[in-house]
C-alpha cells in the first residue's frame, strides 16, 4: 500500500512576526477557556471542581522583558535541527524550557477598522497567578504602546509572552510520555481488575472461527488480536511465502496458513463466523471471498472494524470511553495526524497515535492494554482502503481534509473514492470540514426537519484559508498583509436573535501569525487549523496547543528543505505522490520564487491536467522521469514552459540545476508513485538527496539538512 499525503510548503525566511531569535508564539486576549466552550461539546461535561477555572489577570506588554526572554537558547548539534524558517535552532528560543503550565495565550487582534500602524497589542493572561501578586512588577507599570507596524506588533507581543512565562516561579511542566503516564481513572481501574486483561476472551470472538485475508502488517495484527480474543484463526494469502509468514508461525503457532487464490472455497464448509480483509488488498482480489461470506450471513470487515468492536467492548465491560479523533483526506493525513497527536499531548492528555502508515490500530491497542496505559485520546490516520465498507466506527470527531483524484485504480472512480472517505464520520461524531473543498462539503448531510422546530443540522465546524463564517469555525485573516490563524466566536452569546437574522455576528479571535509555524506554506496553515479543531473537540485548552503548533517541525519528505547550493534551494517532496499534493507544493513554494519541478513515476490513472495552471504560473522548467513521463508531457504541452526528459533521478537533478537561477528552487514533487524506479518513496528521496549532496560537494559547499 502506498499512502499519499501532502507536503509542507515554504514561506520566506524573513517573514514578519518573528523576534530577533526567530521565535514567534501567540499572545493572549481572553481566557483560554474559550478554546473549547464555543465548539460543539464532544467530551463529557466537567464537574464543578473542574469547571472552576483559576483566577486570571491581564497585564500589558513589557517591551524590555521580551529581550531577556530571547536569551533562552536550545542546543543544535545535528543537521536535522535546522528550523523550517532557515534559522538554526541555536538561534531559536527553546519552547520546551517555557513553563506553559503557568499561562494560557489566546491572541486577539486589533479592531477591524484599525489602520496598520494602530494595530493593538494583544494582552497577556497568566493562569494560576493571583491578581494581587503579579509575576513581575515591571509588567504592571503604566505602559503606552508606541505606534508600530503589524509585523512589529506580532514580533513584540511574542517576545513579551516569552518574558512573562519565563518570569513564572512555577516548575516547568515535564513532557508526558504515553507509556509512563497513568491512564484516566475509569480506564485504569478497569484494566487492574482481576478478571484478566481487557480484550481477552472478548465475547464476540471467543471460540469463533475467523478468516483473515492477507498477511501484511495489518493482517498479522488482526491475527494476533483474534487469537488474543480466543478465536480460532486461519490466515490466507495469494503468495506462497509472504514476508510475515515466519513471524506468524513463530508468534502464533496455532494459526493455520493457507496460500493460493482467493475464492469461495475459503468460506464454503469452513464453519466460519467472520472474514476480515487487509486494507492493501484490491477489491477485485477479495471480492469472491466476501461475496461468498455475505451470501451465508457471515460478518465481514477489516482491522478498523475489529478496532471499533474492541472499543465498544471495552466501554461496556470496563467503562473505558476515550475520545477518538480520526483523520483522512487525499493529502495532509500524516501531517494533521502527527500534529493533532502533538497538540493533545502538549495539552497534558495521554494520547495514542496509530493507523494508516503504522503502527497498526490493533497492535497499538493491545500494547496499551498490556502496559496499563489506555490513553484518554486516540488519534487515527485512516486511508480510503481502511474506510471502504467499514461499519460501526463512531469517532468523537473526524475530518476529511480534501478530495482530489487518487487511488482511482482501486476505487474505480472519484465518487466511490469520496464515499469511502466519508465513512470516517460515522453517524454521530463532530464533522470537521474543509469549507474550500466542494467534495468535502457535500458530505455534510442536509438538515433534518422536525415538526414545529428549526431544522436540525448535524454538529460540524469548518476550516479553510479564508475567513471563518460561523461560530467555532477556524480560518485565516490577513492583517496589514500578514496572515493570522483565527477562530470565530459568537459576538454576544446572551443576545436573543430573531428568526429573520440570517447572518450571525462574529467575533474574530486571532490566535497566532501563520508565519510563526515551522511547517511551510498556506496549506500547512490550514492543516494546523484542522488539528486545532480536532484537539479542541477532545477538550484540549488552546494555550498549550498554540505552543505545540509552533514546535511542530513537519514530516520527512514533505517539501523538506535539503540544501542551498549556489543560491538554489533544493526541496524533497517525494511524498507528493498525487497531483493534488504537487499542486499544493508548487503553489506554496512559487509564492516567492521560480521553480524547476521534477515530475514523474507511476500515475495510477490520474488526470495530470490540473498541473497545467500552476506549472505555467510558477515553474521555470519541468524535468520528467519515469513510466508516465509521456502522459505528463502531453498534459503540460500548453503550459508554455520547457519540458525536459531525464533517464533517471540523478540526471534529472543535474538537468534541473542547469535550468535554475540563483534564488530559484528545485522541487522534486513527482505527483506519482515510485515503484517503477524505486523501492518506495523513501528510496526515491534518498536518491534525490544523494544527488544534491554530490552537487554541493562538487561546488565545495557544505550541505545543511541532508
448-460: pLDDT as tens digits? 988 778 888 999 9
Mean pLDDT confidence for 475-482: 94
Measured between its terminal Cα atoms, the distance across the chain in Å is: 27
Element (H, E) at 548: helix 542-551
- 583 and 656 Cβ atoms separated by less than 8 Å: no
- Residue 201 CB neighbours (<10 A): 14
Higher-pLDDT residue of 337, 330: 337
Can you give the pLDDT at residue 497? 57
512 pLDDT higher than 50:
yes
% of the chain exceeding 70 in pLDDT: 68
- How do beta strands 460-463 and 568-572 pair? unpaired
Can you give the pLDDT at residue 159? 52
Active-site pick, 11, 38, 333, 523: 333
Can you give the pLDDT at residue 605? 87
Higher-pLDDT residue of 271, 117: 271
Mean pLDDT confidence for 568-575: 94
Mean pLDDT confidence for 477-500: 79
CA 459 to chain centre: 21
Mean pLDDT confidence for 505-513: 94
Per the document, the length of the chain is 706
- 142 and 76 Cβ atoms separated by less than 8 Å: no
Can you give the pLDDT at residue 341? 97
Can you give the pLDDT at residue 449? 85
Catalytic site includes residue 356: yes
Residue pointed to by grid coordinates 494602530: 118
Can you give the pLDDT at residue 151? 53
Can you give the pLDDT at residue 412? 74
Residue 532's closest CA among 107, 124, 224?
A: 107
Burial, 128: exposed, middle or buried (Cβ in 10 Å; 0-12, 13-18, 19+)?
Answer: middle
398 pLDDT higher than 60:
yes
Rounded Cα distance between 588 and 590, Å, is 6
10 pLDDT higher than 90:
no
Burial, 651: exposed, middle or buried (Cβ in 10 Å; 0-12, 13-18, 19+)?
Answer: middle
Q: What is the pLDDT of residues 588-640, one digit of tens each?
A: 788 779 999 999 999 988 999 999 999 999 999 999 999 999 999 999 999 99
Burial, 111: exposed, middle or buried (Cβ in 10 Å; 0-12, 13-18, 19+)?
Answer: exposed
All cell numbers assigned to 519: 511547517
Residue 266's closest CA among 308, 236, 228?
A: 236
338 pLDDT higher than 90:
yes
Q: What is the pLDDT of residues 176-216, one digit of tens each?
A: 333 333 333 333 333 333 334 555 546 689 999 999 999 99
671 pLDDT higher than 90:
yes
Q: Which residues of 207-240 are buried (b: 16+ CB within 10 A; e: fewer)?
A: ebbbbbbbbbbbbbbbbbbbbbbbbbbbbbbeee
Q: How confident is the model at residue 582 (pLDDT cuts 50, 70, 90)?
A: very high
Q: What is the pLDDT of residues 252-292, one digit of tens each?
A: 999 999 999 999 999 999 999 999 999 989 888 999 999 99
Of the listed ranges 19-33, 203-217, 255-269, 426-440, the one predicted with least confidence? 19-33
- 70 and 19 Cβ atoms separated by less than 8 Å: yes
47 pLDDT higher than 50:
no
Higher-pLDDT residue of 460, 496: 460
SS3 478: strand
Rounded Cα distance between 399 and 388, Å, is 16
Contact residues for 241 (Cβ-Cβ < 8 A; gap 6+): 259
Burial, 118: exposed, middle or buried (Cβ in 10 Å; 0-12, 13-18, 19+)?
Answer: middle
Q: How confident is the model at residue 59 (pLDDT cuts 50, 70, 90)?
A: very low
Integer CA distances (angstroms), 218 to 127, 130, 215, 361, 362, in order: 44, 52, 7, 8, 8
Burial, 700: exposed, middle or buried (Cβ in 10 Å; 0-12, 13-18, 19+)?
Answer: exposed
Pick the CATH number of 560-698 from 1.10.10.10, 3.10.129.10, 3.30.70.580, 3.90.190.20: 3.90.190.20
Can you give the pLDDT at residue 450? 81
Catalytic site includes residue 349: no
Catalytic site includes residue 333: yes
- 308 and 396 Cβ atoms separated by less than 8 Å: no
Can you give the pLDDT at residue 496? 59
Domain with CATH 3.40.50.720 in the chain: 192-302
88 pLDDT higher than 90:
no
Higher-pLDDT residue of 158, 224: 224
Active-site pick, 11, 208, 349, 407: 407
- Residue 114 CB neighbours (<10 A): 14
All cell numbers assigned to 36: 473549547
**DSSP of 66-126:** HHHHTT-B----SGGGB-TTS-BGGGSB-GGGS-GGGEE-------TT--GGGPPPPPEEE
Residue pointed to by grid coordinates 517539501: 559
Q: How confident is the model at residue 554 (pLDDT cuts 50, 70, 90)?
A: confident
Can you give the pLDDT at residue 113? 37
Can you give the pLDDT at residue 61? 32
433 pLDDT higher than 50:
yes
% of the chain exceeding 90 in pLDDT: 58
In 3-state terms, the chain is what percent helix, strand and coil (to 5)?
35, 20, 45
Can you give the pLDDT at residue 267? 97
Higher-pLDDT residue of 52, 593: 593
- 637 and 672 Cβ atoms separated by less than 8 Å: no
251 pLDDT higher than 70:
yes
- Average pLDDT in the chain: 77
Mean pLDDT confidence for 345-350: 97
Domain with CATH 3.90.190.20 in the chain: 560-698
690 pLDDT higher than 90:
yes
With vertex at residue 283, the alpha carbon angle to CA 282 and CA 287, rounded to the nearest 5 degrees, is 130
User: Class for domain 192-302, per CATH?
Assistant: alpha beta
489 pLDDT higher than 60:
yes
Active-site pick, 331, 356, 527, 578: 356
Can you give the pLDDT at residue 180? 34
Amino acid at each position: 500500500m502506498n499512502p499519499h499525503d501532502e507536503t509542507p510548503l515554504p514561506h520566506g525566511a524573513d517573514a514578519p512576526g518573528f523576534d530577533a531569535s526567530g521565535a514567534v508564539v501567540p499572545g493572549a486576549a481572553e481566557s483560554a477557556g474559550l478554546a473549547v466552550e464555543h465548539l460543539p461539546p464532544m467530551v463529557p461535561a466537567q464537574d464543578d471542581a473542574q469547571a472552576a477555572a483559576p483566577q486570571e489577570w491581564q497585564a500589558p506588554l513589557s517591551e524590555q522583558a521580551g529581550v531577556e526572554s530571547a536569551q533562552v537558547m536550545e542546543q543544535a548539534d545535528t543537521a536535522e535541527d535546522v528550523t523550517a524558517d532557515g534559522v538554526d535552532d541555536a538561534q531559536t528560543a527553546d519552547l520546551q524550557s517555557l513553563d506553559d503550565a503557568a499561562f494560557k495565550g489566546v491572541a486577539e487582534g486589533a479592531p477591524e477598522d484599525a489602520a496598520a500602524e494602530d494595530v493593538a497589542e494583544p494582552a497577556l493572561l497568566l493562569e494560576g497567578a493571583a491578581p494581587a501578586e503579579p509575576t513581575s512588577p515591571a509588567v504592571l507599570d503604566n505602559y503606552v504602546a508606541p505606534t508600530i507596524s503589524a509585523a512589529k506588533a506580532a514580533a513584540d507581543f511574542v517576545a513579551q509572552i516569552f518574558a512573562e512565562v519565563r518570569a513564572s516561579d512555577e516548575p516547568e511542566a515535564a513532557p508526558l510520555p504515553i507509556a509512563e503516564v497513568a491512564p484516566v481513572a475509569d480506564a485504569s481501574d478497569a484494566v487492574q481488575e482481576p478478571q484478566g486483561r481487557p480484550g481477552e476472551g472478548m465475547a464476540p470472538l471467543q471460540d469463533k472461527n475467523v478468516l483473515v485475508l492477507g498477511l501484511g502488517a495489518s493482517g498479522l495484527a488482526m491475527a494476533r488480536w483474534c487469537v488474543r480474543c480466543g478465536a480460532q484463526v486461519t490466515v490466507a494469502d495469494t503468495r506462497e511465502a509472504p514476508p510475515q509468514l515466519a513471524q506468524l508461525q513463530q508468534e502464533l503457532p496455532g494459526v493455520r496458513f493457507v496460500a493460493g487464490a482467493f475464492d469461495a472455497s475459503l468460506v464454503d464448509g469452513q464453519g466460519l463466523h467472520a472474514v476480515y480483509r487487509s486494507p492493501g488488498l484490491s477489491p477485485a482480489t477479495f471480492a469472491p471471498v466476501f461475496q461468498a461470506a455475505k451470501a451465508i450471513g457471515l460478518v465481514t470487515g477489516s482491522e478498523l472494524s475489529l478496532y471499533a468492536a474492541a472499543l465498544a467492548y471495552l466501554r461496556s465491560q470496563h467503562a473505558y470511553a476515550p475520545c477518538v479523533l480520526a483523520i483522512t483526506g487525499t493529502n495532509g493525513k500524516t501531517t494533521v495526524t502527527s500534529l493533532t497527536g502533538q497538540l493533545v499531548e502538549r495539552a497534558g492528555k495521554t494520547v495514542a497515535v496509530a493507523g494508516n502508515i503504522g503502527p497498526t490500530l490493533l497492535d497499538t491497542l493491545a500494547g496499551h492494554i498490556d502496559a496499563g496505559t489506555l490513553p484518554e485520546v486516540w488519534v487515527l490516520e485512516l486511508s480510503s482502503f481502511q474506510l471502504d465498507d467499514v461499519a460501526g466506527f463512531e469517532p468523537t470527531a473526524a475530518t476529511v481534509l480534501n478530495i482530489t483524484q487518487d487511488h482511482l485504480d482501486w476505487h474505480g472512480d472519484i465518487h466511490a473514492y469520496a464515499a469511502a472517505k466519508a465513512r470516517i464520520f460515522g453517524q454521530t461524531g463532530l464533522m470537521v470540514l474543509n469549507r474550500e473543498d466542494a467534495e468535502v462539503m457535500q458530505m455534510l448531510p442536509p438538515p433534518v426537519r422536525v415538526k414545529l422546530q428549526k431544522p436540525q443540522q448535524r454538529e460540524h465546524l469548518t476550516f479553510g484559508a479564508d475567513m471563518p463564517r460561523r461560530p467555532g469555525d477556524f480560518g485565516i485573516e490577513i492583517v496589514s498583509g500578514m496572515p493570522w490563524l483565527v477562530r470565530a466566536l459568537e459576538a454576544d452569546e446572551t443576545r436573543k436573535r430573531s428568526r429573520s437574522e440570517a447572518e450571525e455576528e462574529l467575533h474574530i479571535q486571532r490566535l497566532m501569525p501563520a508565519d510563526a509555524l515551522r511547517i511551510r506554506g498556506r496549506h500547512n496553515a490550514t492543516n494546523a487549523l484542522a488539528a486545532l479543531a480536532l484537539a479542541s473537540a477532545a477538550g484540549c485548552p488552546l494555550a498549550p496547543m498554540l505552543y505545540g503548533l509552533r514546535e511542530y517541525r513537519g514530516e520527512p519528505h514533505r517539501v523538506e528543505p535539503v540544501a542551498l547550493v549556489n543560491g538554489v534551494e533544493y526541496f524533497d517532496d517525494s511524498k507528493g505522490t498525487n497531483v493534488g499534493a504537487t499542486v499544493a507544493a508548487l503553489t506554496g513554494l512559487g509564492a516567492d520564487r521560480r521553480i524547476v519541478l521534477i515530475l514523474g513515476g507511476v500515475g495510477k490513472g490520474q488526470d495530470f491536467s490540473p498541473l497545467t495552471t500552476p506549472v505555467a504560473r510558477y515553474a521555470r522548467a519541468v524535468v520528467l522521469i519515469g513510466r508516465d513521463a509521456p502522459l505528463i508531457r502531453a498534459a503540460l504541452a500548453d503550459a508554455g514552459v520547457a519540458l525536459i526528459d531525464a533517464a533517471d533521478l540523478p540526471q534529472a537533478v543535474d538537468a534541473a540545476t542547469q535550468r535554475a537561477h540563483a534564488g530559484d528552487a528545485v522541487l522534486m514533487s513527482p505527483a506519482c508513485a515510485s515503484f517503477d524506479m524505486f523501492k518506495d518513496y523513501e528510496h526515491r528521496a534518498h536518491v534525490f538527496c544523494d544527488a544534491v549532496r554530490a552537487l554541493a560537494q562538487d561546488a565545495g559547499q557544505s550541505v545543511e539538512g541532508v
